[in-house]
Every structure is written in structure tokens, then in C-alpha cells.
Structure 1
């Protein structure tokens, strides 16, 4: 390959290649040996550098700080969609997933420091507005929101800028067990 490239260059620039070919033939072995040593040196350098890089100190590396649940929940969370499953006895009445309700309902929770929560809800159909301020507590996978003296216990999950609050309720209705699972998907 070296010889072919050299010949092409020689022809392009009208060099006399007679003497050069003799030089190349005599020194081809030396050239190949140097090339091999250079390649091995580069490989050794890469291997050594990667060893040092992988064993380097983490002093200058920016580490992602994991926030506590209490810190993650702070802020304003706006309703995007809901999941609703209702079952009466063995019959599933409804099983809706990811239903966009933003055309029907404006709802947000704002969680503040000191375990203070504000709720705002407006139903577009009748213009009814509900709002209030209360407290919240986090315990394990449960979030308890207490506004106007009525505590509501949700199962919660935070995934980045998405907060899912699930409300599970059971009651007897006409002699059968009514099970309701409602999940609010809220976004920052």
C-alpha cells in the first residue's frame, strides 16, 4: 500500500522514481518494522491511558445528587391525564388508561416546604372551583393530603417530572363490592 501510494504521488508530481524504488525496496523492511513498532507503541499508549482514565479520581466528576422524596415532591404538579378502573363484584365497569381530562378539568397540587399543600380544581362544565390549603405527609409509598380536615391517602410514584397519585377505594353498593382505582398523572 505504501509503495502504491508512493507511486501515485510520484506520477502526479513527475518525480523520477527509479532511484526511489530502489530506496523503497531496500528500506521497505525497515519501514514496515518501524510502522509495526509505532503501531504497538500507540496501542500501548492507548491501553495505558485508558487504565489511568478508568482508575482516575472522581474529584472532578459531577455527580447527580439524589434528592429525597420530600425534596422531589416540592413544586407545582399539574394534572395531565387519569387512569380509572371501576369494578362491581366480578364485572369491570370501566377500565380507562391515560385519559386526557385537561379539557374538562383544571387541577393542580402545589407542595411547599414545611409540609404545606395547596389544591386548586376547576371543572369547566359548570365553572365550579375548589381550592384549599392543608398539610401533607410522606410515609413509605403513601402520600397523605389533609385539606379541610379530611385526610386522603394516595399511593404515589415520582418519575422525573411526573407524579402519579393513586386513590384506591372500596365500598358496598347494592350488595356488591365496588372497587375503584383512580390515578392522577401530574406533571411539573
Structure 2
């Protein structure tokens, strides 16, 4: 099976799942010590940094008319990747799962007489269940946000326009 599209290890393979480590940490927050939640953010942030360095390195290897243009393009790609991954992989989904679990715990505490450990496990299960449901809408929302802000300011082609051209 041949394809002229290069496989992006950080977006097209299971390595992408490392970006969701903090959502797993947030889902398990009711059950584990904070250090484990913080460690999950460390994994996700390391993933974001690795993707940023990967994109910067690939851009650096491209031919440019001058070193100044090369530096400029590397900075643009780095900023785009860092901001997109930071929002789409860490900040927005982490906050979302945190609030889903907190809301679930609150509702269960107010509406059931379940033991605390059952409420915590239920909130964790709800959080984990929600992760695949939030990924695509958040990714699309962040692309829309960046296409209409940072990417315009940096002069980077809009992702959604680029995807439409591929089809």
C-alpha cells in the first residue's frame, strides 16, 4: 500500500494517544493522588514538545532562499504546533474532563446515597467514556479558532482550507 502522504508519527499513529494522557489523569483524579494527575500532564506536555520539535526540525531541513526566511518559517511552524497542541491536547480537553468528573461527582453526591468510592469510580468511568467524544469537536474548534486568529497573523495557510484542497 503506497501513499504520497507522509505519515506524521505524532498525529497519524498511536503516539497521538500520549497527548491524551492528561485527560486520563483528570478522569482518575477522584481516585489517585495529585502527583499522578500532574505526572499525566507531564506526559502530555512532553508529547506537545516532541511534536513541536519534530515539525520545527522538518521545516528547518526544507530549502529556503535565506537563513532569515528559514528562521522565520521554523518559528511560525513551531508557534502553530505548540499553540494548537497546547490547546487541543492539553488545556481544553483537560479542563473539559476535569469539569465532567467534578460535575458527575456533584450530581451523584446530591442525587444518590451511593458510597463515596462508588461515586468516585462512576465519575472516573464517565470521564473516560467522554474522552473519545470530545476529541474531534475540540480539534475542529481549535483549528477554527487558529485559522481565524494566529494563523492569519502569522501568514500560515488555514488548516481547514488546506484539508479542503486535499479532497
TM-score range, shorter chain: under 0.3
More helix by share: 2
Tell me the TM-score normalised to structure 1 length. 0.22
- What's the TM-score, normalizing by structure 2? 0.24
Structure number with the bigger relative contact order (C-alpha 8 A, sep ≥ 6) is 2
Bigger radius of gyration among the two: 1
Q: Which has a greater percent of strand?
A: 1
